[in-house]
Structure 1
Amino acid sequence: GGCCGTTPQHIRLLRNAVEGLIPGDGTGTCSGGTAGAGRAVTGLASRSQAVLFTEAAGPVIIGERINPTGRKQLAEDIRRGSFAVVRRDAKAQV
């Protein structure tokens, strides 16, 4: 199972993504799967996406402007399901 908000499809996709990986020893290295045997893997995950940082992928832009903390209007727009401000701010950061 997962945390509140996860669905059976999410769990199925997560299971498929990690299938074949061998749990590490806490050093951040992976012992198989698509990440590459023995290579250090760094990444971030959100509710809907995981991003692995690799040299081959190039730079990954992480924008702070779309963080609703301290931005009352942005937080309200997100609560209403309106993402126009999020899109505008995200595009401005690229």
Structure 2
Amino acid sequence: MSRIEKLEALLQENGSDAFLNHALGLEYVKAGNDAKAEGIFKQLLADNPDYVGSYYHLGKLLERNGAEQGAIAVYKKGMEIALKLGEQHAYNELRAACEYLEF
């Protein structure tokens, strides 16, 4: 059973688990299925907007696929949430990714 299959099985029991959804998104990125990963990250953030780590990975995915303005918007939203939560490390990573695209 692949990691994707294992995560999907776990999500059958608890589909709203943010950690499992984030992990599934990352596995789809590793598998080269950016469309599936993007959908998972977007749904995760719609359901759990405070799950800061997903902003970075969704932004990177969008950036890699040429959607730089979308990536910037995601990074900025993530920065806003990170500041609200006092997550300085996450804020710094998101800011660095955003600044790279803006310059």
TM-score scaled by length of structure 2: 0.24
Structure 1 or 2: more helix by fraction: 2
Kindly indicate which of the two structures has a greater share of residues assigned to strand. 1
If asked which structure has higher relative contact order (CA below 8 Å, sep 6+), I would say 2
State which structure, 1 or 2, has the greater radius of gyration over its C-alpha atoms. 1
